[in-house]
Amino acid sequence: MTTHWKGVAFVQFVKDKHMSKLDSLLPKEILAGLSTDFIKHIHYFKAIDSTNEFAKQLAKKGAVEGSVVIAETQEKGRGRLGRAWLSPFGGVWLSLLLRPKITLKEAVTLTLMASVVTAKTFRKLYKLNAKIKWPNDILINERKVCGILTESGADNNVVSWAVVGIGINANINLEEFPSAIQKSATSLKEELKKPVSRIKLIRNLLKQFEKDYKIFLIDKNRILEVWRKFSDTLGREVKIVAANEVVVGKAMDIDNFGALIIKVNGTKKVITGDCIHLSKIKSFDK
Ligand code: BTN
């Protein structure tokens, strides 16, 4: 268990004032009720640039699988496709260090697994109808409540470390987001009309993560099946904006590596990109 302290006195005072209204995420509080086997090495920060960045540094220094980096706020939170990720107080911003024996190509499915874990946790704890927008945005009522960013390193195409970063808008008021994303984002507090216990959320998330990760290592198809069940994308007309192309068509399925299979003239697979749902209605006729 590691607690890192950072920041000048005044900044600390402002943060402490804000945090006094929140449950704190101190490792001893989380560990007190956590019954995981190996996801239990917690590094805690009041403020950090990015939990993914710190976890990456830990990975390169040889830290054990199951290390977790948690911060109350991130100053340079990272999102997918090189975007910034807003991380104010009240959210859950954490990264997990894993060392699965999988190929780089398979590493994408690790991200899909994390989205299954998170959606399951929201469903079980809060009875919310959490769904997944390809590849790994968690939506509630079609608004994004959580994003996942996986970064990995490999030797000869075999993953040597993977950092799965999970950002959950937990106890966040929508006014704290820029107006441009207020319509497309939501938070658990907003959906439930009351704040959640972030400690309980993290404990349940880590427990579920460990359980599904063990299954994933034996048979990742079992996890991909649950992804399909939770998917809000399959069956819809979608537009995928990738670095070099835009693909419009019907989302039919995912393959064993998490690529989205789209019906255009024939079919096309996309590995990465921004997914926009065009149709409200889903249909599964081929
Ligand atoms: C996305 O763009 O949807 C992915 C967002 C991932 C954000 C999380 S918050 C914890 C971890 N640390 C980061 O810098 N990013 C991830």
pLDDT at 129: 98
pLDDT at 34: 93
Ligand 1 pocket, mutate which of 45, 86, 87, 187 (most atoms under 8 A from CB)? 87
- The answer to whether 251 touches 221, Cβ cutoff 8 Å, is no
The SS3 of residue 255 is coil
Rg (CA), the chain: 19
Cα(167) to ligand 1 centroid in Å equals 5
Ligand 1: lining residues by beta carbon, under 6 Å: 50-52, 74, 77-80, 83, 85, 87, 93-95, 137, 147-149, 165-167
Nearest to 172 by CA among 8, 3, 9, 21: 21
Choose between 281 and 185: higher pLDDT.
185
Ligand 1 pocket, mutate which of 43, 78, 96 (most atoms under 8 A from CB)? 78
Amino acid (one-letter) located at 186 = T
> Would you give the DSSP letter of residue 119?
H
Tokens 């207020």 correspond to 182
- pTM equals 0.92
The SS3 of residue 151 is strand
Amino acid (one-letter) located at 220 = K
> Would you give the DSSP letter of residue 192?
H
Nearest to 163 by CA among 240, 83, 107: 107
User: Around 283, how many Cα atoms within 13 Å sit in the side-chain half-sphere?
Assistant: 9
pLDDT at 4: 56
Cα(285) to ligand 1 centroid in Å equals 35
pLDDT at 281: 79
Cα(51) to ligand 1 centroid in Å equals 8
